[in-house]
Amino acid sequence: MPTSEDSPATPTPPVRGLQRSEAQQRAALLRVQEYDVTLDLASSEETFGSLTRITLDSQAGETFLDLKPTAVRSIHLDGAPLDVDTLRAGRLPLSLTEGRHELVVDAVMPFRNDGEGLHRSVDPADGRHYVYGMSFMDAAPSIFACFDQPDLKAPYTFHVRAPEDWVVIGNAPGTNPEPGVWELERSQPLSTYFVTLVAGPYHLVRDEHDGIALGLSARQSIAADLERDADELFTMTKQCFDEFHRLFDIRYPFGDYHQAFVPEFNAGAMENPGCVTFRDPLVFTSKVTRAVRIQRATTVAHEMAHQWFGNITTPLWWDDLWLNESFAEYMGVRVTADVTEYDDAWVQNSFARRQWGLVADQRPSTHPVAGNGEEDALAALQNFDGISYAKGSSILKQLAARLGDDVFLAGVRDHLTRHRFGNATMHDLFDSWTRAGAGGFGRFSGDWLVTAGPDRIRLDRIAGELVRTPPAEHPADRSHALRLATAPAGGDWSETPVEVAGERTPVEVPTGQAVLIDPWEDTWAVCEPDELTLALLPGLVATTTDPMVRAGAWNSVRSGFHHAEVAPDAVVDLAEAWLPVETQDSGLTYTVPWLLRSAVPLAGDPAEAASRLHRVALSAAQAHEPGSTLQLGTVQAAVATAADPALLRGWLLGRDLPDGLEPDLELRWRIWVRLAVLGETDREELDAALAAEPTAVSRVEHTRAVASMPTVAAKEFALERFTGAVSVPNYELEAAGTGMWRESQRALLEPYVERYAHGLAAAAAAHSGWVQADVAEDFFPTCMVGDEAMALLAPLRTDERLPAPVRRRLVDAVDQLERRNAVAARFPALAARASLGGAG
């Protein structure tokens, strides 16, 4: 077991998934008619029985079955036993004759604890066990024997035996004929990656809308929290169903619609037909900002969009999976803004997602939205990033604007109708759009979908021109239809449409006015502020009534900072003016953490910068309406920037908090984490806080707080989780990693850069699945500027001992450090002073 940096790195075999050519051969050979799956979840806490009966039609030929069991009891093909010892690396070779066959696999499968397969976990609050299935993207064979590729769809019938106090929900409606026995109806044809099962003593809430049975579920220990939000969740689900039915004109075909909030889920959610799974921190156990509620609402709508786009019609191969995500991301925000109470969803999206996409698109690892040409299923997973979601969504939004909504939607309907319960490609969709009256997809696809990287658009004030610069590594000649926002000092913004084509586009800009390029996100480009605009912005934020313009201003400034064109102190000046006047808590929720990570530590005097932000956050919290989420957002900012332990200790006890605010569990943990960073708490106090309320939230935040303390013991605590010496669930792992590295503790953390670099190969080997690459990113020494750290970290990008997904994350993480060093180099006096310490 690797325990420290001295352990030899275990070489990891290259991770290889299903190859496209293998999938094509198998799809040409066989059709799966039906899966009948019997699972026994009641006999053990470590494994479960899995009996799969597959009916298929085949040509004569050689192929293989996917199966990742703990043990195989027997395999029969048309009644004759097969040699189970031929199972190698999850594949069982099959020799098929032409015609109908029945394959029966009786196996024992492992309950997993990495968020994939059938994940089983224990609720720390009450010791109850919960199970859910996550088949995406290659985990189905660790639940049942199958032909695991997206284009071999078949209906499923599940029979489940479970402990008697459990409920079982799957992709199709079910009954519970006797205690512990669950029979699910035959489902519609599904890809293997959609198959799920949610089983355990879950708390259920039910409703109905337009003939569709609706359900919500969560752990018993958060039942009251689910009940409190059930009305909001059901209401938006109903509103979204009505809107999707109107937009697509195709009835939801998967029976019931259940939304299960499940523990330790890796992603935000998974769109399994009829039974969507969500990470259960989305059941709010404390008061949250509106931004966080919008995030949940757009996730709900995103997964609903997938029921049509992705679940009815599914990509033929993983290289088109971007289209699923881009489409669901676009529709999720659009429908949330159009029909739910969250009509400001596009503002939240601008604050939360724009930079995620733009930064990803400027990394060395950038890739085209479409046609990444991925031949390997597992490699394709690494492209689930800001490009596939935020950029792809932006491109589809542009397309809808250019085609007109009628043509856009008519093409989508045609696509979903032609390929109902089947599979299709991007080109099939383009054909549908062409049939609907659109044209010119060659140009559109070439400009936006198959060429990586964003253009930079800047204002040359002297020439009176917008200057468009395509990325040097990815030459392109894109035109941009966008709007400029211009405003005189202290005045109102006005908008001017511009068509940017060619390298230079003349624009009329009134002398002395601030100019924001594309704040309404009509196009996809990096638009930095010029010097005059940057100087005017702090004076303009108070009179900027359009929240998209404020979000656009921040995206512009963040882009400038990313390119070391905007000084950290200019960012802090803007933040100080803006924080008290921001009217959307989305701005605070997503901008303040960025400020504290990026600009504040590199400011002339980081402690003073943090203190300035703390002062304005505090007075804003007093000024905002008591009990408002805006007040909560400013208090969260005040906690994160606090340097006075007495103030924090008072708040912990509910003393001197702004009116209308309670120190609920989440706020108390925010305070404990801040006290930990400041070195103003100890392990004993944190352990006592966990023991007093041992919930899932507490466990994660306790880990974050302990790892945040400025002590060797705290950093060793974090590293034990990194190396796998202490095995913890995914959320605690993330909290240990991101808690460990603190700006104000750089001297203490110096030796840990080497520990990270030398221990990474063993750490990667100690973790599996999605978590493996996450652990490399979460524990990366993000705050350690300087040549020494770079010399240790940069070579990891090409270290062949590391799995490819880990190296990909390192490419991005090292790029971020280089950007940071560039800011320090461009503003050297500031960076030199910043190294003396500052805000954590």
Binding site for Zn ion (CB under 5 A): 325, 328
CB 101 within 8 Å of CB 173 = no
Query: Shortest approach of Zn ion to residue 308 CB, angstroms?
Result: 12
Q: Which is nearer to Zn ion, 328 or 784 (CB)?
A: 328
Query: Shortest approach of Zn ion to residue 323 CB, angstroms?
Result: 11
Query: Shortest approach of Zn ion to residue 327 CB, angstroms?
Result: 9
* Structure tokens that stand for 459 in this block: 């204002």
Query: Shortest approach of Zn ion to residue 384 CB, angstroms?
Result: 9
Query: Shortest approach of Zn ion to residue 131 CB, angstroms?
Result: 23
CB 417 within 8 Å of CB 411 = no
Compute the distance between CA of residue 603 and CA of residue 838 in angstroms, rounded to an integer: 9
Comparing CA positions, the residue from 827, 267, 314 lying closest to residue 599 is 827
Query: Shortest approach of Zn ion to residue 262 CB, angstroms?
Result: 16
CB 84 within 8 Å of CB 90 = no
Cross-strand partners of 207: 214
Q: Which is nearer to Zn ion, 267 or 409 (CB)?
A: 267
Query: Shortest approach of Zn ion to residue 679 CB, angstroms?
Result: 41
Compute the distance between CA of residue 351 and CA of residue 289 in angstroms, rounded to an integer: 14
Signed CA dihedral, 637, 639, 640, 642: sign only? positive
Using alpha carbons, list the distances in angstroms from residue 719 to 221, 445, 493: 30, 45, 50
DSSP-based three-state secondary structure for 373 = coil
- Ranked by CB distance to Zn ion, the top (closest) residue is 328
CA 317 to chain centre: 21
Q: Which is nearer to Zn ion, 277 or 556 (CB)?
A: 277
Q: Which is nearer to Zn ion, 267 or 577 (CB)?
A: 267
Residue 646 sits at φ, ψ, to 5 deg, of -65, -40
Q: Which is nearer to Zn ion, 50 or 326 (CB)?
A: 326
Compute the distance between CA of residue 730 and CA of residue 263 in angstroms, rounded to an integer: 10
Residue with the two structure tokens 């006005």: 494
Q: Which residues of 685-694 are buried (b: 16+ CB within 10 A; e: fewer)?
A: ebeebbeeeb
Q: Which is nearer to Zn ion, 281 or 552 (CB)?
A: 281
- DSSP per position, 587-640: HHHHHHHHHHHTTGGGSSSHHHHHHHHHHHHHHHHHHSPTT-HHHHHHHHHHHH
Using alpha carbons, list the distances in angstroms from residue 648 to 59, 297, 527, 682: 71, 32, 39, 15
Comparing CA positions, the residue from 395, 514, 525 lying closest to residue 457 is 525
* Structure tokens that stand for 135 in this block: 């088949």
Q: Which is nearer to Zn ion, 190 or 661 (CB)?
A: 190
Q: Name the active-site residue from 303, 325, 374, 666.
A: 303
Residue type, 613: L
H-run or E-run covering 58? strand 47-58
Q: Which is nearer to Zn ion, 272 or 555 (CB)?
A: 272
Query: What is the DSSP secondary structure assignment for residue 19, as one 8-state letter?
Result: B
Query: Shortest approach of Zn ion to residue 191 CB, angstroms?
Result: 14
Q: Which is nearer to Zn ion, 30 or 276 (CB)?
A: 276
Is 303 one of the catalytic residues?
A: yes
Query: Shortest approach of Zn ion to residue 247 CB, angstroms?
Result: 17
- Contacts of 84 by beta carbon, 8 Å cutoff, 6+ apart: 72, 74, 75, 92
CB 550 within 8 Å of CB 351 = no
Compute the distance between CA of residue 449 and CA of residue 412 in angstroms, rounded to an integer: 18
Query: Shortest approach of Zn ion to residue 271 CB, angstroms?
Result: 6
Q: Which is nearer to Zn ion, 325 or 585 (CB)?
A: 325
- DSSP per position, 114-147: SSSEEEEEE-TTT--EEEEEE-TTTTGGGTS-B-
Name the residues annotated as catalytic.
303
